[in-house]
A = this chain, B = another copy of it.
Amino acid sequence: MNDVIETILNHRSIRHFEDKPLTDQQIKTIVSCAQAAATSSFIQAYSIIGVKDYEKKKKLAELTGNQVYVEKNGHFFVFCADLYRHTLIGEKEEKDVSASLESTEKFMVALIDTSLAAQNAVIAAESMGLGICYIGGLRNNLGEVKKLLNIPDRVIPLFGLAVGYPAHITDKKPRLPFEHVYHVDEYEPNLERFYSQLENYDQLIASYYETRTNGQRKDRWSEQMANMLSKQTRMYMKEFIQKNKLDIR
């Protein structure tokens, strides 16, 4: 196993950071690594906003459901899917690009591009001894986030990324069985095998939680997923995205 694979396999989310800001050089390295990721047809459909202003960080912590590590970290990035730049380019080059930019296909491209870039940033940060936590809670209230960060149409903040020196290191969470996720030549159609693997994984996760919460929590993964998904959250998203002139056609 090389250093890179070791770094990748060693990932866990960090939610407690030391009070020590990243240097400009560290930020530059992390962003440069993000930019080095592959990009669909060279479109580079993302922007990254680094939030330094303390009042803004505080407000973002509130908006993401009072997650203290959004406020207290070494640096806070907001990763945005960005097709605004391409809107401007269409105008400049006098080409009608709007149907294309409004398509579900390009919305998907922008999401994929942004996520590939973000994961490069994460691996780079972790390789420097930093910890990270993705903040999906940013999507709780994207309207407010956009206002706060002065974000134009066709730019959707997808998630935050808190980065910093770990003050507390958590355990790694066991992932789904390899055979559950990886299929050969076709999508595995054997439901019996699926349920039996799932049963084992459910037990594994239940005991993971049990050990770590002194028995207070012992939910199976299936249970956790079914409970989470039976609640309808962020159902404003479709309308919001379309109001932002994306994913319309």
Seen from chain A, the residues whose Cβ lies within 8 Å of a Cβ on chain B are 1-5, 7-11, 13, 27-29, 31-38, 40-44, 46-53, 56, 80, 85-86, 88-90, 92-93, 95-97, 99-101, 103-106, 108-109, 111-112, 115-116, 118-120, 122-124, 126-128, 132, 134, 136, 139, 148-152, 155, 158-159, 173, 175-176, 178, 180-187, 189, 191, 194-195, 198, 221-235, 237-238, 241, 247, 249
Contacts of A7 in B (CB 8 A): 4
Contact of A44 among B134, B148, B176, B247 (CB under 8 A): B176
Dominant SS among interface residues on chain A: helix
A4 to B35, CA, bound (A): 15
A-B complex: 10 closest residue pairs judged by Cβ atoms: A4-B127, A115-B115, A93-B226, A119-B119, A97-B229, A104-B238, A150-B186, A105-B234, A95-B230, A95-B226
